Amino acid sequence: MANTDIEGLKLEQRHGKARVRVARVWRSKEGRHFTVEWKVNISLLSDCTAAYLRHDNSDIVATDTMKNTVYVKAKECSEQLSVEDFAILLANHFTSSYRQVTTAIVNIVEKPWERVSINGQPHEHGFKLGSEKHTTEVIVQKSGALQLTSGVEGLALLKTTKSGFEGFVRDKYTALPETRERMLATEVTASWRYSYDSISSIPRNPFYFTERYLDVKKVLLETFFGPPKEGVYSASVQSTLYDMAKAVLNRFLDIQSVQLKMPNIHFLPVNISSKDNQMVKFDDDVYLPTDEPHGSIEASLSRIWSKM
Ligand SMILES: O=c1[nH]c(=O)c2[nH]c(=O)[nH]c2[nH]1
């Protein structure tokens, strides 16, 4: 928030444009098309208190202008680039173009369009929608100082065994049996903060952050599931979450912290009986899938030393 003290009061304010949707297509000389679809949120911290206090809009960057800027910058990007690089380019535009703008915060969610294959052959211009989404948040200061966070949302994962939950607090309110055999299902929301702290220090490769996104996802999945044959035992969502976050920090030295939200989506054992007939007796086979209520488990893990 941009803060101002006036007449013994503190005003905190920001303004921006939310949910600006843009799609961009790039065409290679050989005729292959590449595309992205982005939903952009822009928020500017700027000195425009006169608009709040004195009906004076002379320092206001119109949110309509912010929206137009998204399309102008998308047009100007003649080469494909990562969602992170587009967010940085936009944020940097706002802080460097307007004297009164001290900080620009840009969030983007990328829709997961994936190239289709027909009979095993990648299609030149055909895409289908995948599942989880790539996200980024970029905060740029006028000085060029940068905070860069990337993430994934909607990464739904499930394993049918190698999960249990034992040894928790038991009191007169506890009904949950201890188990070493249950389903484990979650929908991961992850975000990871990079240690690049200025625009000038970010890697130049236009797909650096796209590749990192794919690699981080891979590490998250490998740690959640374990090796294909034997898997890995999960003693709780908490312990699996910790292992996943730690694996990301161990593997990627330019990531400084990881935040994970992993709801525990319950699959309830099904037992059905009438007075004289047990119709269904649960034997780790028939479940009632639910989406609410769900356990909500989240944590963040950071390096204590924060610079590379
Ligand atoms: O992995 C789990 N963590 C919990 O905190 C919890 N609480 C609960 O009822 N089941 C589970 N499972």
**Ligand 1, CB cutoff 6 Å, lining residues:** 165, 176, 236-238, 264, 295
8-22 pLDDT, tens digit each:
899 999 999 999 999
Please determine, for residue 308, whether its predicted confidence score (pLDDT) is greater than 90. Answer: no
| Predicted pLDDT of residue 7 | 77
100 torsion bin: left (phi>0), alpha (psi -120 to 50), beta (else): alpha
Atom nearest to 240 CA in ligand 1: 1
Q: What percent of the chain has pLDDT over 90?
A: 96
Task: Provide mean pLDDT across the span 87-100.
Answer: 98
Pocket test for ligand 1, best of 166, 171, 182, 236 (most atoms within 8 A of CB): 236
Note the CATH architecture for domain 152-308: Roll (3.10)
ipTM passes above 0.95: yes
The reply to whether 152-308 shares the fold of 1-144 is: yes
Residue range 136-143: average pLDDT? 98
Instruction: Please give the pLDDT value at position 2.
Output: 86
Overall average pLDDT of the 234-253 stretch: 98
* Residue type at position 220: L
Establish whether 282 is an annotated binding residue: no
The DSSP result for the chain, as a single string, is -EEEEETTEEEEE-EEEEEEEEEEEEE-TTS-EEEEEEEEEEEEEE--HHHHHHS--TT---HHHHHHHHHHHHHH--S---HHHHHHHHHHHHHHH-TTEEEEEEEEEE--EEEEEETTEEEEEEEEE-SSEEEEEEEEETTSBEEEEEEEEEEEEEESSSB-B-S----TT--PPPBS---EEEEEEEEEEE---BGGGS---TTHHHHHHHHHHHHHHHHHH-STTT---BS-HHHHHHHHHHHHHHH-TTEEEEEEE--B--EEEP-EEETTEEEE--SSS-EEE--SS-B--EEEEE-SS---
Cα 135 from Cα 109, distance rounded (Å): 4
Q: What is the pLDDT of residues 27-74, one digit of tens each?
A: 999 999 999 999 999 999 999 999 999 999 999 999 999 999 999 999
Residue 31 has what pLDDT?
97
266 in catalytic set: yes
For residue range 111-123, list pLDDT tens digits in order: 999 999 999 999 9
Q: Note the pLDDT of residue 306.
A: 55
pLDDT of 6 reads 77
CATH topology of domain 1-144: Urate Oxidase (3.10.270)
User: Is 13 a known ligand-binding residue?
Assistant: no
Residue located nearest, by CA, to atom 7 of ligand 1: 295
What integer pLDDT is reported at residue 307 of this predicted model? 53
Q: How confident is the model at residue 1 (pLDDT cuts 50, 70, 90)?
A: confident
**Domain-wise residue ranges, the chain:** 1-144, 152-308
Q: What is the mean pLDDT of the chain?
A: 97
Global pTM reads 0.95
Which of 4-8, 74-78, 175-179, 219-223 bottoms out in mean pLDDT, i.e. has the lowest?
4-8
pLDDT for residue 56: 97
Determine the atom of ligand 1 nearest the C-alpha atom of 184: 1
Residue 153 has pLDDT above 70, yes or no: yes
The per-residue DSSP string of 157-186 comes to: EEESSSB-B-S----TT--PPPBS---EEE
Task: Report pLDDT for 296.
Answer: 98
Q: Is 6 or 217 the better-scoring residue by pLDDT?
A: 217
pLDDT, tens only, 154-180:
999 999 999 999 999 999 999 999 999
